[in-house]
């Protein structure tokens, strides 16, 4: 901790952001009683001499002081106060914007390409002047342009807009989607339903961003030309992280089969890009120049893919790795993670709530912390000995498979609580799907980039690359059929935040114990911890086994009693938009659903998007009774669909 000030600063920065988001008050008021309490505890235990105790605060407090020094505490205090102040100021700014923007006249610059919807086109705009005021400068809005308005906007156009401001909705139900919070992660404060629009001028944006956008459009256009629509949409996701054209059903299959991460450009993509460029350029221009070229390519790649959190993390870590080689310095992976995360959170602190960011960083941290230990465990699992002439090749293949499995296991262990918290499901086939895609995804990415480059020429060999690419992408789509197998999607109630914290504490403790026992060379502190564990184990064995069994029986009885004791009747009215929905939990813990909302339109599945997450967040996996009050669509549709699925 002492040697990694950036990592310490990031921890403090995150603390300040979370305090601002969830408690909405200055963290300084929180630090005053905490500081006083710590001072009292330290001073009262400094001069007290006590006899040896197995668990003694005074005895083991020095280990805490080794990790958390005065310098560490000071960095955490300063960084958390800064981030907390930024969050409070930003929230205040958003609230002012919500109150003052009703009917709107604004001047701004289009900073996105067109997103086509059924009745409208959507653009993101950077506001310069709103309602004759410049206080809205450097804020962002979405424009909903009706298709009847023939004016088509392009990236970089400066426009004059008149329309009605629509404030984004907050979370309407427990466990529901908070659209307002989601827009804050994109630095967008609302939507304008456009009444009139006028293009003032073109190309009014930074030339570098304009160039990168043109390059992105060019690559997408080439992908559309070399592949069919379905395969092209998948390849855009694989190479550029653009999933907007992927069919909803196909994307859900990728999610359920635990393959959606390959459609979000991340560390795996960056590692293959770096590997490919090193193989091609190292012999021709040398190692040092190759590293400079890779840094340039990664910066351009971040711009092309829209600076998503996962790509920024992976690219910044890749750039720092290249710089460490250029400067002949040892690369520290924890500093690289901290620097990339700090860059993201300084740009927009609300991105801490971005699911992609959470999964990307936790998955990476899980691999760093757990991969070696899991690989060592898998190495001890030996298969039956058989005599083969190619025994060495067989050992190498098995070792490689175990390496891939250890990476998948470690990442999955780290992200599991977050997946359950946000998506409420898990599956049992993630090892198989990730093992298969880890073998083929590298060649697919490299061949994809090669095909785009070759498409600029008329070389006949491009047909062979395109055919290989089509076969590989169709194979990936076939792998997603694991989502149709039993137990591929197991719904699990939303875990409590305290359970998630306990889960990570358990993982950290397990890691520490595992490392202490498996290290060959240990320092004095680790030796003391190993002795402490041995003493605890010895004292546990010393106790009467019958007494331990009695304690376990008592605990089980208490849990059963609490489970079967009648509880209060609970009645919840669920906001499902059009229609009514009531969820009842009886004193005997039976669940009843009265109606379920719904509409004639199939565009938005209320049962899947609203009702199911709500029930899982309340801690229930099934509905015992469904009651339909009458046969109107806005009462019967969702309840009927849930009844059919159950």
CATH architecture of 101-211: Beta Barrel (2.40)
Quick one: tokens of 152? 């088509």
Return the domain boundaries, the chain: 5-95, 101-211, 570-645
pLDDT value at residue 63: 57
pTM, two decimals, is 0.85
Picking from 51, 52, 55, 50, the residue whose alpha carbon sits closest to that of residue 536 is 55
Q: What angle do CA 196, 198, 203 make, to 5 degrees?
A: 140
Q: Average pLDDT for residues 625-633, to the nearest whole number? A: 79
pLDDT value at residue 342: 93
pLDDT value at residue 53: 52
* pLDDT cut 90: percent of the chain above it: 15
In this model, does residue 211 exceed pLDDT 50?
yes
Picking from 614, 592, 608, the residue whose alpha carbon sits closest to that of residue 171 is 614
pLDDT value at residue 644: 47
In this model, does residue 646 exceed pLDDT 90?
no
Q: What angle do CA 597, 576, 645 make, to 5 degrees?
A: 50
Specify whether the CB–CB gap between 489 and 427 falls below 8 A. yes
Mean pLDDT for the chain? 82
CB atoms within 10 A of CB 257: 24
Write out 395-415 in H/E/C secondary structure.
Answer: HHHHHHHHHHHHHHHHHHHHH
Picking from 63, 174, 188, 45, the residue whose alpha carbon sits closest to that of residue 570 is 174
Specify whether the CB–CB gap between 433 and 258 falls below 8 A. yes
CB atoms within 10 A of CB 183: 19
C-alpha count within 13 angstroms, C-beta hemisphere, residue 292: 5
Specify whether the CB–CB gap between 539 and 54 falls below 8 A. yes
In this model, does residue 111 exceed pLDDT 70?
yes
Q: Where are the beta strands (DSSP E) in 564-624?
A: 570-573, 582-585, 591-594
In this model, does residue 565 exceed pLDDT 50?
yes
pLDDT value at residue 557: 81
- What are the tens digits of pLDDT across the range 24-57? 778 887 777 777 776 666 555 555 555 545 555 5
């Amino acid at each position: 901790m002492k040697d990694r000030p950036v990592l310490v600063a990031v921890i403090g920065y995150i603390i300040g952001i979370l305090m601002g988001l969830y408690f909405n008050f200055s963290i300084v008021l929180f630090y005053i009683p905490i500081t006083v309490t710590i001072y009292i505890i330290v001073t009262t235990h400094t001069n007290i001499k006590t006899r040896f105790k197995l668990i003694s605060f005074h005895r083991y407090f020095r280990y805490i002081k080794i990790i958390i020094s005065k310098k560490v505490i000071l960095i955490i205090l300063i960084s958390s106060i800064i981030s907390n102040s930024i969050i409070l100021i930003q929230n205040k700014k958003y609230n002012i914007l919500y109150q003052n923007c009703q009917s709107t006249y604004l001047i701004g610059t289009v900073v996105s390409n067109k997103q086509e919807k059924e009745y409208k086109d959507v653009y993101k705009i950077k506001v310069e002047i709103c309602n004759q005021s410049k206080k809205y400068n450097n804020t962002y809005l979405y424009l909903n342009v009706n298709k009847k308005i023939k004016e088509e906007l392009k990236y970089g156009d400066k426009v004059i807009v008149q329309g009605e401001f629509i404030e984004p909705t907050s979370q309407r139900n427990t466990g529901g989607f908070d659209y307002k919070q989601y827009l804050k992660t994109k630095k967008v404060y609302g939507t304008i339903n456009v009444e009139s629009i006028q293009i003032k001028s073109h190309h009014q944006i930074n030339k570098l961003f304009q160039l990168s956008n043109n390059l992105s459009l060019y690559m997408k256009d080439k992908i559309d030309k070399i592949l069919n629509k379905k395969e092209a949409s998948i390849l855009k996701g694989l190479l550029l992280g653009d999933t907007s054209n992927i069919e909803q059903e196909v994307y859900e299959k990728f999610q359920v089969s635990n393959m959606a991460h390959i459609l979000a450009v991340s560390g795996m993509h960056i590692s293959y890009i770096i590997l490919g460029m090193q193989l091609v350029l190292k012999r021709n221009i040398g190692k040092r120049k190759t590293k400079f070229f890779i840094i340039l390519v990664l910066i351009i790649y971040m711009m092309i893919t829209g600076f998503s959190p996962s790509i920024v993390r992976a690219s910044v870590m890749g750039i720092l790795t290249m710089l460490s080689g250029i400067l002949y310095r040892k690369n520290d992976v924890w500093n690289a993670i901290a620097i990339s995360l700090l860059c993201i959170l300084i740009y927009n602190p609300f991105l801490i709530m971005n699911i992609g960011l959470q999964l990307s960083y936790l998955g990476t941290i899980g691999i760093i912390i757990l991969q070696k230990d899991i690989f060592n465990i898998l190495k001890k699992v030996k298969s039956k000995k058989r005599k083969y002439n190619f025994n060495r090749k067989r050992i190498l293949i098995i070792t490689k498979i175990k390496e891939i499995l250890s990476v998948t296991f470690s990442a999955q262990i780290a992200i599991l609580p977050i997946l359950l918290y946000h998506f409420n499901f898990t599956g049992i086939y993630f090892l198989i799907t990730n093992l298969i895609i880890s073998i083929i995804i590298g060649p697919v990415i490299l061949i994809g980039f090669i095909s785009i480059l070759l498409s600029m020429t008329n070389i006949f060999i491009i047909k062979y690359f395109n055919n290989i690419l089509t076969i590989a992408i169709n194979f990936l789509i076939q792998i997603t059929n694991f989502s149709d197998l039993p137990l591929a999607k197991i719904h699990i109630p939303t875990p409590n935040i305290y359970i998630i914290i306990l889960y990570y504490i358990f993982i950290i403790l397990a890691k520490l114990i595992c490392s202490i026992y498996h290290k060959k060379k240990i320092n004095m502190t680790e030796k003391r911890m190993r002795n402490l564990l041995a003493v605890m184990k010895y004292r546990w064995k010393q106790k009467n086994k019958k007494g331990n069994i009695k304690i376990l029986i008592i605990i089980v009885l208490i849990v059963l009693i609490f489970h079967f004791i009648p509880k209060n009747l609970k009645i919840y009215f669920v906001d499902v938009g059009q229609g009514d929905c009531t969820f009842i939990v009886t004193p005997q813990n039976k669940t009843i659903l009265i109606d379920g909302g719904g509409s004639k339109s199939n565009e938005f599945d209320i049962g899947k998007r609203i009702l199911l997450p709500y029930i899982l967040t309340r801690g229930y996996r099934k509905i015992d009774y469904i009651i339909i009050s009458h046969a109107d669509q806005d009462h019967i549709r969702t309840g009927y669909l849930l009844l059919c699925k159950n």
